Homo-oligomer: A and B are copies of this chain.
Amino acid sequence: MGGDHGPSVTLPACAAFLAAHPQAHLLLVGRAQALASLPAGIDARRCTIVPAAEVVEMDDPVEVALRRKKDSSMRVAIAQVKDGAADVAVSAGNTGALMAIARYVLKTLDGIDRPAIATQLPNATGGATTVLDLGANVDCTAEHLLQFAVMGSALVAAGGRENPTVGLLNIGEEVIKGNDVIKQAGQLLRSAAQRGDLNFHGNVEGNDIFKGTTDIVVCDGFVGNVALKASEGLASMIGTFLREEFARGPLSRLAALLAWPVLMRFKRRVDHRRYNGAALLGLRGLVFKSHGSADAFAFEQALRRAYDAAEARLLERVQRRIARAAPLMGPPGDATASSAGPSVST
């Protein structure tokens, strides 16, 4: 139901996702009438409609979403994960509400103080850089940054890249740079690396996100959110300028026509929709967040990413890594926390 477009985007995305994943099963959570007539591409035998009477609006305060809308599609979807009916929940709704509800319903893993939001950004190597946190936590301690590094490593390893490198976002590469929290975090990350819990590269700077210097970049949610949104703003401005210049007069439009295949290839390479689908990490269940403005293609990517994470048993990977790094994080966590192991159906 969520996002800027609701079922008009999410249902076509579900159809495409099911076509590409013959083993997958979807629970469609929302208002019965919105889900009454599924698009032709959706095989009704591979979907279960789970009714929810309310919808969390994009501008609902967290308190409203959490306390007043107890039968929201968001909450019911997350409850499916808690109950073991689903392996992972995906939403394009209000991020703050999603995090609060997920935290309330699922609870955090042992050893995790605060869940984090992790997304991928394209980098110059042709791969992607995983960045976390992206706004869930505005004030972080060094221990939180270590937790993010450990959870991010589990996420990237679940994606098939074993022993991924971690960079600590800073304003210089030297160990002495940054504020006290960053310097302490650097020490913790170096200790974790010495113990074999992490593959810590060292400090990285803002440009390293897009250079692809490390697989993972760790930062507090304030910095991560600003860096992400500044990048979105810049990409949008550059795209606008490029379109405007190719539309400036008949000769430019002719040039655009001739350069069309090149421009399309370029567009595909920088298409942020391919990277849609952020992981909420540190909870006792898997939840993925799609961009609110996602179109069907973008939302399908979030579904794929969520499915792949469940299939790669991301939750167990996070738990295992957090348990291993627990001695660095204060009181040891309980690595055997109860949580239904994800199956390949979603």
A residues adjacent to B (C-beta < 8 A): 122-124, 135, 138-139, 169, 171, 178-180, 182, 205-211, 219, 221-223, 225-238, 240-242, 245-246, 248, 251-252, 254-256, 258-259, 261-263, 265-266, 269-270
Contact = CB atoms under 8 A, between A and B. Distances in A.
A227 B225 contact: no
Contacts of A226: 169, 171, 205-206, 219, 223, 226-227
Contact of A138 (B124, B179, B207, B234): B179
Nearest to A222: B171
B245 A229 contact: no
A139 B266 CA distance: 39
Given A171-B135, A241-B266, A210 B234 contact: yes
Given A222-B179, A227-B227, A259-B258, A171 B138 contact: yes
Contacts of A270: 238, 241
20 contacts: A171-B222, A178-B222, A205-B226, A207-B232, A208-B233, A211-B233, A211-B237, A226-B226, A226-B227, A231-B234, A238-B270, A242-B266, A245-B265, A251-B261, A252-B261, A252-B262, A255-B255, A255-B259, A255-B261, A256-B259
A221 B171 contact: yes
Given A171-B222, A259-B256, A123 B237 contact: yes
Contacts of A122: 237
Given A255-B259, A255-B261, 20 more contacts: A124-B241, A139-B179, A171-B226, A206-B229, A207-B230, A207-B236, A210-B230, A210-B236, A222-B223, A226-B226, A231-B231, A234-B234, A235-B238, A238-B238, A245-B263, A251-B261, A252-B262, A255-B255, A258-B259, A259-B259
The residue among A232, A237, A245, A256 with the most chain B CB atoms within 10 A of its own CB is A237
Contacts of A182: 138, 222
A171 B255 contact: no
A230 B258 contact: no
B225 A206 contact: yes
B237 A210 contact: yes
A65 to B, nearest CB: 15
The residue among A123, A210, A221, A262 with the most chain B CB atoms within 10 A of its own CB is A262
The residue among A123, A124, A259 with the most chain B CB atoms within 10 A of its own CB is A259
Contacts of A269: 241, 245
Contacts of A255: 255, 258-259, 261-262
B223 A209 contact: no
A223 B209 CA distance: 14
B222 A209 contact: no
A230 B248 contact: no
A123 B255 CA distance: 25
B238 A178 contact: no
A248 B264 CA distance: 13
A123 B236 CA distance: 10
A68 to B, nearest CB: 18
A113 to B, nearest CB: 16
A223 B222 CA distance: 8
A179 to B, nearest CB: 4
Nearest to A135: B171
Contacts of A208: 233
